[in-house]
Structure 1
């Protein structure tokens, strides 16, 4: 199929990328085409501390903020078996990227999510999320360098909820100190949203 006729590769007058350059299999592009016919942009691996662009590791598309999460979850069901995952990749929740991964924790590695202000490295974030996932499975739907968002498949309850909220606070103080205001507040957020959300200022 001629994907150049379906997708416009955006990026300005000097943008010379085309579908073939992006290394995305036809099966994945076919899935993407179900959800958008708009511009796809190259998704670059970027050095967190220099902003220097590296290799192209996927594609990125603009979406409506209120549709981003649902879009990611729908595409994920079809893409995961192909070794690709979609995820929200910006704070405003209006961009979704699709990249090849070995598992969902590669999203955290790609986005270099960290809590540098608390001496929390990217490796520590990945390790902690894997630990929590074993106890309370979740689906990562988005991340950037200073935040990660996931939806719980199994949410802690009872005494486990308070214990888990306390763990979250110790690992990511800003979610309480600049967010919920208390452990009780965080517990209510977890029960209402059924989401794991970490961010470091």
Structure 2
């Protein structure tokens, strides 16, 4: 009797184990493939090279220094146009030079600026980027580095400063220490000292009054900004 009862319990245990709900196997989540898009930038065409009529050796020198192909640089110009109501003005893009993308923008500009200016051309940094994104260096015709600001239409709407006002301020500062413009965008200017001001802290204060955002963006304090300008031998004007 005991043996039969033991066999009965064993059979019940097996049946209970067999009736347990089996857990489905865990499926590993398949990560979607990462698609990387290589953005292609427009390369300067043979027609555009002919339209610019820049010396071939200037193009090749800049491309070699930057390690990149030349791209068209367009300037926004205001032209007269006729419509049904009479004469008016419109904005349009005009081919004005060429650009290259490079992570060595400072070295490229500093190395070639003197040679190109002697031949009637200006080279400057036209966009500042961060991280792994290359800067853009541009070449246009011109003799005065202030022409760079005119090409870029540099201004500060928040401070009611147009391009002419910014150029006028820069010219006034040439009495403190001489410099040349080596970069500009819609709301920033970069200059390299030929001769540094004797009192860099006083110059930093002038920058703060004229372009207050420069201090917070570049250094944080006037003292740090003065030291940075002395060390890098250049200064910025920034309006956010």
Into which bin does the TM-score normalised by the smaller protein fall?
0.7 to 0.9
> Which residue of structure 1 lines up, in the alignment, with residue 42 of structure 2?
11
CA contact (8 A) 1:23 1:58 kept: no
> Which residue of structure 1 lines up, in the alignment, with residue 193 of structure 2?
152
1:162 and 2:201 aligned: yes
CA contact (8 A) 2:63 2:100 kept: no
1:180 and 2:219 aligned: yes
Greater shift in the superposed pair: 184-193 or 122-131? 184-193
> Which residue of structure 2 lines up, in the alignment, with residue 74 of structure 1?
111
Q: Structure 1 length normalisation: TM-score? A: 0.80
Q: CA separation in 1, counterparts of 2:218 and 2:72?
A: 34
1:36 Cα deviation from its structure 2 partner:
5.2
Structure with higher RCO (Cα < 8 A, 6+ apart): 1
More helix by share: 1
- Listed one character per residue, the Cα deviations across residues 141-172 of structure 1 (whole Å, up to 9, x for unaligned) are 21101111112121123xx3232121111100
1:22 to 34, 46, 52: 52
Q: CA separation in 2, counterparts of 1:191 and 1:30?
A: 33
- Listed one character per residue, the Cα deviations across residues 27-54 of structure 1 (whole Å, up to 9, x for unaligned) are 5335435535742111111269xxx642
Q: CA separation in 2, counterparts of 1:170 and 1:44?
A: 32
1:115 Cα deviation from its structure 2 partner:
1.7
Question: Aligned-residue CA RMSD in angstroms?
Answer: 2.4
1:119 and 2:160 aligned: yes
1:196 Cα deviation from its structure 2 partner:
1.1
Helix, strand or coil at the partner of 1:59: strand
1:198 and 2:229 aligned: no
Pair 1:162–1:55, CA change in 2 (3 A) = same
> Which residue of structure 2 lines up, in the alignment, with residue 7 of structure 1?
none
Helix, strand or coil at the partner of 2:70: strand
1:16 Cα deviation from its structure 2 partner:
7.4
> Which residue of structure 2 lines up, in the alignment, with residue 56 of structure 1?
95
Structure 2 unmatched ranges of 5 or more: 1-40, 79-90
Q: CA separation in 2, counterparts of 1:138 and 1:57?
A: 25
The correspondence of residues 128-143 of structure 1 with structure 2, limited to 5 A, is 128-143=169-184
Q: CA separation in 2, counterparts of 1:109 and 1:155?
A: 25
Q: CA separation in 1, counterparts of 2:112 and 2:215?
A: 32
1:32 and 2:62 aligned: yes
Pair 1:11–1:34, CA change in 2 (3 A) = closer
Pair 1:53–1:73, CA change in 2 (3 A) = farther
Q: CA separation in 2, counterparts of 1:71 and 1:21?
A: 25
The number of residue pairs the alignment matches comes to 183
Q: Structure 2 length normalisation: TM-score? A: 0.68
